[in-house]
Chains A and B, each alone.
Chain A
Amino acid sequence: MDLRAGDSWGMLACLCTVLWHLPAVPALNRTGDPGPGPSIQKTYDLTRYLEHQLRSLAGTYLNYLGPPFNEPDFNPPRLGAETLPRATVNLEVWRSLNDKLRLTQNYEAYSHLLCYLRGLNRQAATAELRRSLAHFCTSLQGLLGSIAGVMAALGYPLPQPLPGTEPIWSPGPAPSDFLQKMDDFWLLKELQTWLWRSAKDFNRLKKKMQPPAAAVTLHLEAHGF
């Protein structure tokens, strides 16, 4: 991964591979479980909770960064921050994502975002900010676990890290202060947008996992013979 000025995420990318070595979530006992429905609902609820938490966290952090980052009209071009996972997707592509891909994209995105957020925490100046960020990171970790649970319940494998790079982080020359702040801005923006997208993703999954009652009965009858 080439390190561009302003692309501080490149430096942390190595570190992010640590996350891939999360303890494997034990597969749920399939017999007698109510299906993935309740855990999808739980994941949905978590995205709402996180989105709410992020609102106050982002407000505080952007004020800490100072103007122009905390101005509501701030509309910079998206430069740098290349490695940030982007929530934006073509409408038709998004609609036609299969469940596995939908869940995988969410899982991978939050894994990266969590790692970058932890990097942010390291550099944060005030103790209060560090506390808020740490709390948010814990919640985000919970969301990741929840998504992993849904994937396991549906029998999908968790995405594996890319082979090769070992997690040794050697700090390179610090990019300019302004560009660093730009990266922070885009991280928070992308996080917010991902949480909105996940709510819609999990809505879609919820609807697909809950077939109407009539269909369920037919299904059982079909197995009757």
Chain B
Amino acid sequence: MAAPVPWACCAVLAAAAAVVYTQRHSSQEAPHVQYERLGSDVTLPCGTANWDAAVTWRVNGTDLAPDLLNGSQLVLHGLELGHSGLYACFHRDSWHLHHQVLLHVGLPPREPVLSCRSNTYPKGFYCSWHLPTPTYIPNTFNVTVLHGSKIMVCEKDPALKNRCHIRYMHLFSTIKYKVSISVSNALGHNATAITFDEFTIVKPDPPENVVARPVPSNPRRLEVTWQTPSTWPDPESFPLKFFLRYRPLILDQWQHVELSDGTTHTITDAYAGKEYIIQVAAKDNEIGTWSDWSVAAHATPWTEEPRHLTTEAQAPETTTSTTSSLAPPPTTKICDNGELGSGGGPSVPSLISVPVTLALAAAATTASSLLI
């Protein structure tokens, strides 16, 4: 069987060739990942090359000036965030890629900020955390929850990566909860912890659907309605009380009302005709703290329809033109001598002009009544 032998031969030769090929181009191994601290100095050796080897360094494909080199090593002073990138060194003549470094410039983590809150009492509470300043490199967080000596599970939030949830197993506990968090990255590590009683972290979400409406025929009233937050699981056994604040947009001072029951309230001292801004907050009746203020509702109290302007006009010109009003001109006009003859002769004696006005006014009313 002559055929298989040459085939096997070819296969081996091909494999050998492949190996040699990859070895020649082998610094296509995954680049070495390196984390360095912002502001520090770093020297990057060109892999295993001799110190005096002739190499060129490139960062993200751009050549680097030779004055940064110390022999075949790249020296970077005072690292900045912009220094992060893929550094590669090549043999100067053959352009053979010798070594690659993926450099990340960052900071070790500062003490994390941790807070816990129960907006779903008595179901449970959640804790969230963040770093006060960015590290610019990936961080891992580890949260542990202790209730006395018992370890509790903190389930990761499905949407937010810096939050986890704990379910209450027991209520009315005298033993405090201790939540600890540790954060670490390639450059360092930090941690913090907080301790609290079950009752102190209760803070509901703000009330929902706050709506304010004017009250018909009541120019100083506004009716406000809202709903208990949907996250509060059991308002029957754990009732909420509410705090309402309102002010006209034009003033800075808020008025406050505390309500121990119900989800409506009527404001009875609104300034007529002024637009109001209204907000509501919620709190468990006995424990915890007030929620944040709700989304604001705006409303203006009911105002009466304005009457026709002509009945209120004081200008004398109206007495000389046909009015559409059916009301007799007010008697004050007749006696209002000062307004008569405006824009005209000041020398017209008022006594003479009065009967003229009367006659005209009478004519006007007769005319208008005839028009009906």
Closest chain B CB from A118 CB (angstroms) = 21
The answer to whether B174 and A203 have CB atoms under 8 Å apart is: no
CB distance from A130 to the nearest CB of B (A): 25
- Mark interface residues in B187-206 (1 if CB within 8 Å of A CB, else 0): 00000000100010000000
Min Cβ gap A122→B in Å is: 24
Could you say which interface size class chain B belongs to? Answer: 20 to 34
Flag if A197 contacts B171 (CB, 8 Å): yes
Closest CB in chain B relative to A196 CB, distance in Å: 6
User: Is the C-beta of B219 less than 8 angstroms from some C-beta in chain A?
Assistant: no
| Chain B residue at smallest Cβ distance from A195 | B286
A73, A75, A89, A200 interface centre (most CB from chain B within 10 Å): A200
Question: Contact check: which of B169, B172, B176, B239 meets A87 at CB < 8 Å?
Answer: B172
Let me know if B62 is at the binding interface, CB within 8 A. no
For the complex formed, measure the closest distance between the CB of B178 and the CB atoms of chain A, giving whole angstroms: 7
Q: Separation in Å of the A91 CB from the closest CB of chain B?
A: 5
Interface residues of B in 155-175 (CB under 8 A from A): 168-175
Pair A91/B171 contact, Cβ less than 8 Å: yes
* Given A51-B286, A204-B237: A196 and B174 interface contact (C-beta under 8 Å): no
User: In the complex, which residues of chain B have a beta carbon less than 8 angstroms from the beta carbon of A94?
Assistant: 171-172
**Residues in A neighbouring B168, C-beta threshold 8 A:** 91
Please report the C-alpha to C-alpha distance between residue A90 and residue B239 in the assembled complex, in whole angstroms: 20
| Contact in complex: B195, A193 (CB < 8 Å) | no
A75 with B195, Cβ < 8 A, contacts A88-B171, A193-B172 known: yes
> Could you say which residues of chain A place their CB within 8 Å of the CB of B171?
88-91, 94, 197
Across the two chains, which residue of chain B brings its CB closest to A87? B172
Is B236 engaged at the interface, CB distance under 8 Å to the other chain?
A: yes
Q: Which residues of B contact A199 (CB under 8 A)?
A: 285-286
Residue of B nearest to A199 (CB): B286
Q: Roughly how many angstroms separate A200 CA and B288 CA in the complex, as a whole number?
A: 13
A107 to B172, CA, bound (A): 17
In the complex, which residues of chain A have a beta carbon less than 8 angstroms from the beta carbon of B315?
Answer: none
Q: Given A88-B173, A90-B169, A207 and B237 touching (CB < 8 A)?
A: yes
Q: Is B286 a contact partner of A196 (Cβ separation < 8 A)?
A: yes
- What is the predominant secondary structure among interface residues of chain A facing chain B? helix
Cβ–Cβ contact B286 & A75, under 8 A: no
- Cβ contact of A89, chosen from B170, B175, B178, cutoff 8 A: B170
A89 to B168 Cα, complex, angstroms? 11
B172 A197 Cβ-Cβ under 8 A: yes
- Of the candidates A88, A89, A199, A207, the one having the most CB atoms from chain B within 10 angstroms of its own CB is A88
Cα separation A51 to B286 with both chains bound (whole Å): 10
B287 at the interface (CB under 8 A from A): yes
Assess the A91–B122 pair: CB atoms within 8 A.
yes
Complex CA gap A78/B175 in Å reads 7
A189, CB-defined interface residue at 8 Å: yes
* Closest beta carbon of chain B to A51's beta carbon, Å: 7
Quick check: is A42 within 8 A (CB to CB) of the other chain?
Answer: no
Q: Which residue of B lies closest to A84 (CB)?
A: B174
Chain B residues 270-298 with CB under 8 Å of chain A are 285-287
**Contact: A89 with B148, CB < 8 Å?**
no
Q: Does A100 contact B (CB under 8 A)?
A: no
Q: CB < 8 Å: which of B169, B172, B176, B199 contacts A75?
A: B176
Q: Which of A19-75 contact B (CB under 8 A)?
A: 48, 51, 73, 75
Q: Provided the pairs A48-B286, A73-B195 are in contact, do residues A193 and B236 lie with their beta carbons within 8 angstroms?
A: no
Residues of A within 8 A of B238 (CB): 200, 203
B195→A91 contact, CB < 8 A:
no
B149 at the interface (CB under 8 A from A): yes
User: Least Cβ distance of A47 to chain B in Å?
Assistant: 9
Contact present for B286 and A189 (CB under 8 Å)? no
Give the residues from 70 to 110 in chain A that come closer than 8 angstroms, CB to CB, to chain B: 73, 75, 77-78, 86-91, 94-95
Closest chain-B Cβ to A25's Cβ sits at a distance in Å of 26
Complex Cα gap A200–B235 (Å): 11
Q: List 12 A-B contacts (CB under 8 A).
A: A48-B286, A75-B178, A88-B171, A88-B174, A89-B172, A90-B171, A91-B169, A94-B172, A193-B174, A194-B172, A197-B171, A204-B237
Q: List 16 other contacts, CB 8 Å, given A73-B195, A78-B148, A91-B171.
A: A48-B286, A51-B286, A78-B174, A78-B175, A87-B173, A88-B174, A89-B170, A90-B169, A90-B170, A90-B171, A91-B170, A193-B174, A196-B199, A199-B286, A203-B237, A207-B236
A-B residue pairs, 5 tightest by C-beta: A87-B172, A197-B172, A88-B173, A199-B286, A189-B174
